[in-house]
Amino acid sequence: MSEANAVPSRWRCLCSYDGTNYRGWQKQPNGQSVQGCIEQALQQTFTKKTKTIGAGRTDAGVHALGQVFHFDAAWRHGSDKLLNALRVRLPEDIQPLELVEVPSSFHALCSAKGKYYVYRAVEGHALPLEMRYVHSLKNRSLDVASMRKGADHLVGRHDFSSFAASRGSGEKESPIKELWRLEVVRSGRRVKIKALGGGFLYKMVRSIVGALFDVGIGKLEPDDIRDLLESRERTRMVKTAPARGLSLEKVYYRRPKV
């Protein structure tokens, strides 16, 4: 049987990318996207259009250490050769890490049980080698203890409308999400905000981070985070942190232990 007539298999790919030069994961009519580059590489490999489904849509400029996507294609030469075929056709800032054949019931988006994001910031200025991935706080210092008190208000199942942004395309998504863990960790001048949950709204993590930064510099009180959450309304009090500090670290297909 020729490759063209073979029955397609479903493939799951784990990939990492530097989102600096992309308008996000999702394919765009204008502008370069991570998904668009991957589908172009797949088209070159299979000489036909091949659609991908990602586990989530990272924003423009957001990075990923552990994004997952799937696609259906006929390939009879083993997963290692397919992985290499993709690698040589992708730019250096997109790297497939693992490729496996999976049952047709697997769905990168619908089968996902949770996602883990990390936001990285530094008091002062990030070093030149890391400034694409770490947000520089410049002359601001953070009260991490207050940030932790504010973060505690957000853990659990809530309506996160106050910390979401509109995609502007008429899409509607339930604002009810469950945040399993939200940690603020300091190491010297470096601060990480770690968010683990069942799902996230558009710009939700960056909005939470922006609000916690304002708590850290004393612009907001920790209890203001609770009040903002309970208002269920996005206001100018919630600012979106810059994209460069955020990375999708992992997608879970079994609910993690919290």
Q: How far is CA 201 from the centre of its chain?
A: 11
CB 42 within 8 Å of CB 27: no
**Mean pLDDT for the stretch of residues 203-214:** 98
* Cβ-based neighbour number of residue 40 at 10 Å: 16
Confidence check: pLDDT of 168 > 70: no
| H or E element that contains 226 | helix 222-231
**Residue 59 annotated among the catalytic residues of the structure:** yes
Q: Walk me through the domains of the chain, giving residue ranges and CATH numbers.
A: 9-102 (3.30.70.580), 114-252 (3.30.70.660)
What percent of the chain clears pLDDT 90, i.e. is strictly above it?
A: 90
Average pLDDT, rounded, for the chain = 94
DSSP secondary structure of 149-171:
HHHHTT-EEEE-GGG----SSS-
Beta-ladder partners of 136: 122
Contacts for 228 with CB less than 8 Å, ≥ 6 apart? 162, 163, 211, 235, 237, 238
The residue type found at 107 is H
- What pLDDT sits at residue 187? 97
pLDDT category of residue 171 using cuts at 50, 70 and 90: low
**DSSP character at residue 41:** H
Q: Of 59, 152, 214, 223, which residue is the catalytic one?
A: 59
